[in-house]
Amino acid sequence: MAIAASGLLAQEFNTKVTISTPKLQKADPKIFKTLQGAIADFMNSRKWSDQEYRPEERIDMNISIMVDQELSDTKFTGQLIIQTSRPVYNSTYSTVMLENVDKDFTFDYREFEALEYSDNAYFANLTSMLAFYAYVSLGLDGDSFSELGGETYFQKANSIVQSLPQTVTDNYGGWKPFGTQRNRFWLIENILSVRFQPMRRALYAYHLGGLDQLYANPAQGQLAMKTALEDIKAVNQSYPGTMFIQLFCNAKRQEIINVFQPTDIKVKQAVFDNVIKMDGTNTEKYRVMLKS
């Protein structure tokens, strides 16, 4: 079963939600139809920042939830796949900012239950997770428009991680630094670490100085993107295989190929040499870039 919804009264986000329940036998499908609408409304109707977003500036967010198991009549577990993108200046193209598969997705929900959230109080793991990704998404958007411009939102995401009751972190996965370095704890730890500030500055150069300039000045935009990728590669050399860099590669892989495939062979060879050092398991995908 798959169901989808989208909100019409977006503030910062234009969110579409899809929920699949391929393995469930007992739960009433109507519960998840209600839930997908509730999540879309929660993300789209809430004011997450003090910024004014024009309709064409809104962050597109796709949330895909696969519910694998019923832990009780009202408690479920599965995975949440989230992708966000923002418009590129002077184009009809949108650039992916975040693409993540969160495999530690456990939530409680009763049909027609209101989704409540406050920055100052804990209500539920579901809304804490949604708020976490809302703030991370706003932070990445902010970093793409000004140097370290997403700091306020990243700090709010970190506050969610740090303020959760121990009973929550003990019983719901993804919030602790143990067992894996691919969860919400490590994502925000990477982003806010001083070690990754050069990467965040490179994200600004890649987007505002690079992608957003491609229409007006392709050579200048490509050069800015190439330089930004060199800076991100340098961070990866110091801290290889970290979650933040991996998520960048997931989001930008096809974009990098598309932008640099038409360029001079020396330029695309240099870009290829850099990106495979960050994303080596996908070397063959990047090799397409070297073809004329």
pLDDT, average across residues 171-196: 96
pLDDT per residue over 221-248, tens digit each? 999 999 999 999 999 999 999 999 999 9
pTM: 0.94
Check if the beta carbon of residue 141 is closer than 8 Å to that of residue 193. no
Confidence of residue 3 (pLDDT cuts 50, 70, 90): very low
Which residues, including other chains, have CB under 8 Å from residue 91's CB and lie 6 or more apart? 214, 215
Ordered DSSP codes for 51-63? ----GGGPEEEEE
**Cα three-residue angle 153-206-96, rounded to 5 degrees:** 65
Check if the beta carbon of residue 115 is closer than 8 Å to that of residue 42. yes
Average pLDDT over the chain, rounded to an integer: 94
Distance CA 233, CA 246 (A): 11
Q: Compute the Cα dihedral for 31, 35, 36, 37 and give only its sign.
A: positive
pLDDT per residue over 84-142, tens digit each? 999 999 899 999 999 999 999 999 999 999 999 999 999 999 999 999 999 999 999 99
Percent of the chain with pLDDT over 90: 88
Amino acid occupying residue 180: T
Q: Compute the Cα dihedral for 105, 254, 134, 161 and give only its sign.
A: positive
Q: From 227, 187, 229, select the one nearest 99 (Cα to Cα).
A: 187
Report how far apart the first and last C-alpha atoms of the chain are (Å, whole number).
Answer: 43
